[in-house]
Amino acid sequence: MTDKPSVLFVCVHNAGRSQMAAGWLRHLAGDTVEVRSAGSAPAGTINPAAVAAMHEVGIDITGQTPTLLEYATAESSDVIVTMGCGDACPVFPGKRYEDWKLDDPAGQGVEAVRPIRDEIRTRVEKLLAELR
């Protein structure tokens, strides 16, 4: 890893879990980590319940856009965290991979997304501590 590690969060639609994880890491790490997120089949917009749940904790993810996972992005990332789409993510020797089993917030209301958001924060805090 370089002095500034890069972390790629990947889920199918890049509209909920991976966007919340990226939002948490940006919030907690500042500019000490390069934060990326992508999806194997990206949605057109971010999940409104994910946006609302993150807004409740003071994190604005409305400026983010679901993005297609590209080979080069994965290849140039130090850590790749998958959330339900591990088979779609290319595997590169020497990379650190984690697969976070999390409920899918798609189609859920903000009440159902809050515990997912909070679990993601816990995992992001642990990852950040390990990166430091």
The answer to whether residue 91 is catalytic is no
Q: Which of 53, 69, 89, 110 is catalytic?
A: 89
Instruction: Find tokens 């939002």 and name the residue.
Output: 23
- What SS3 class is residue 83? coil
User: Among the options 11, 50, 83, 110, which is catalytic?
Assistant: 11
C-beta atoms surrounding 70 within 10 Å: 11
| Spatial CA neighbour of 42 closest among 71, 64, 65, 21 | 65
For the question of residue 11 being annotated catalytic, the response is yes
105 belongs to the catalytic site = no
Catalytic residues: 11, 85, 89
